[in-house]
Chains A and B, each alone.
Chain A
Amino acid sequence: EDQVTQSPEALRLQEGESSSLNCSYTVSGLRGLFWYRQDPGKGPEFLFTLYSAGEEKEKERLKATLTKKESFLHITAPKPEDSATYLCAVHAQAGTALIFGKGTTLSVSS
């Protein structure tokens, strides 16, 4: 069964304190792994797509990496405006849907 597990469920950081979010996945053929940011009560905002192991993408303070079993979202020197829930999703080769993890809720305090 295709599955996505994110850890930790919640993460509290001080402004400037770098850290990483983990996304472990089990999928029968990976078409793509996606990271989204979601603010409370709003729709997910697209961040990155990763297609193959070894691939990396960067955007401002965020960097996403991919291996054959997991992906990491690295946050460098976070700011309070980075506070949000970060969702990881996979698109399996045999399916039409994105399969999401439960997300990691990040809180950054100044």
Chain B
Amino acid sequence: ETGVTQSPTHLIKTRGQQVTLRCSSQSGHNTVSWYQQALGQGPQFIFQYYREEENGRGNFPPRFSGLQFPNYSSELNVNALELDDSALYLCASRWDSSYEQYFGPGTRLTVT
């Protein structure tokens, strides 16, 4: 069984740029969620995708967007990066009939 993988591991961007983060779901999982975790905080929900459609969103602006592909892999796109976007971005996957989410190792984004 393959776990959740994310790429890249680390990323440094400049304020105003755009970034794309990638996630491969755990084998057999059809639902993927993205979370943002600032230092010393718990993860904050960004959005969830099921069957290639967004079906839940947290309190994040529209410049945070995503995609889910037929193979259940996913992307998180962030436009017009701000300094406060610096955080660990986590992808989590699950089977739609279960509430147990399994997380990837995360992508550390630094915005300068």
- A interface residue numbers (CB < 8 A to B): 4, 31-32, 34, 36, 41-46, 49, 87, 89, 91, 95-103
Contacts of B103 in A (CB 8 A): 36, 43-46
The residue on A at minimum CB distance from B6 is A43
Is B100 a contact partner of A43 (Cβ separation < 8 A)? no
Is A97 a contact partner of B58 (Cβ separation < 8 A)? yes
Contacting residue for A95 out of B43, B56, B88, B106, CB 8 A = B56
Instruction: Give 19 CB contacts A-B under 8 Å.
Output: A4-B42, A31-B99, A32-B100, A41-B88, A43-B6, A43-B105, A44-B43, A44-B90, A44-B103, A46-B100, A46-B101, A87-B42, A97-B33, A97-B56, A98-B33, A98-B35, A98-B45, A98-B92, A102-B40
Q: Does B112 contact A (CB under 8 A)?
A: no
In the bound complex, CA of A105 to CA of B3 (Å): 25
Q: Does B41 contact A (CB under 8 A)?
A: yes
Contacts of A34 in B (CB 8 A): 99-101
